[in-house]
Homo-oligomer: A and B are copies of this chain.
Amino acid sequence: MNQTTTSDGTSSRYHHSVGKAAKNKQVKKNALYDTAFHLFTSKGIAHTSISDIAEGAQVAKGTFYLYFKDKYDLRDRLIRHKAAQIMEKAFAALDKTALVIPEDQIVFLAGHIVSQLTVDKITLRFIAKNLSWGVIRNRLYPTADGDEEESSDEKIVSDKIRDLFQSMARRYRNPEVLMFMIVELVGSTCYSSILEGVPVSIEELRPYLADAVRAICRAGELQNGEPAAD
C-alpha cells in the first residue's frame, strides 16, 4: 500500500494484480484437491475428515469452505475431473494413431481406457463405477451452471470427440447410445476384474471385452438403406 507511480505510468494503489491473489487461490485449491485425493484413496472418504484435508493442504480449516461446500462436493468434482482425464487421455492417444475407421477407433479407445485403469488401480477404485458417459457428455455440451474449469488442452480433446461422433453419425444408428453402452461396459467390468479378479483377471478378460465392444459396434450399424438419425 501507499504506493508510488512507476515510470510507465501504469500503476495504481491497490492494483489488484490478477496474478498474485488469483494464483494463490488456485494454489490452495489444488493443494486441497491433491490432498483430498490422496486421503480419500488411502483412508477412504468416510474416514477422511475435513480437518485432515485442510491440514494436509497446509491450509486453515475455514479455507476449505471457501472452495467447497463439503467433503462430498469435493469428491464429486474430483471424480468428474479424474473420469474426464481418462477419457481425454484415451482420445489424445487415439489422435496419435492412424486409425480412421470408427469401429477401430472405438475399440482402441476402450482398450486404452482398460490399460489406464489397469495401471492406475488407485484411481480406478476412486472413480469406482463413476466412469460414466455423463461426464464426457458434459464436456461436449457444457452447461452454463457448470463451473468446471476447462483447460485449453481439453478444448482440443473436445474437438476430437466431436470429430469421432461426426464420422460415426454416417455409419451408426445412435452413436451416443453406442458410446454410452461401451463406456459403461468397460468401466463396470474393469472395476470387478482389475480390483477383485472376478470373475477373471483383466488379462483374461481383455480379449472378450474387445470382442464384445466390436460386436456392440456392429450391432449398432445402420442397415443398408436405413437413414442416419438427425
Contact = CB atoms under 8 A, between A and B. Distances in A.
B209 A181 contact: yes
A50 to B, nearest CB: 15
Contacts of A209: 181
A133 B199 CA distance: 8
Interface string A196-229: 1011100011001101101110111000000000
Interface of A: 128-129, 132-134, 137, 173-174, 176-178, 180-181, 184-185, 187-189, 192, 196, 198-200, 204-205, 208-209, 211-212, 214-216, 218-220
12 contacts: A132-B192, A134-B192, A134-B196, A137-B199, A177-B205, A180-B199, A184-B184, A185-B188, A187-B188, A212-B215, A212-B219, A216-B216
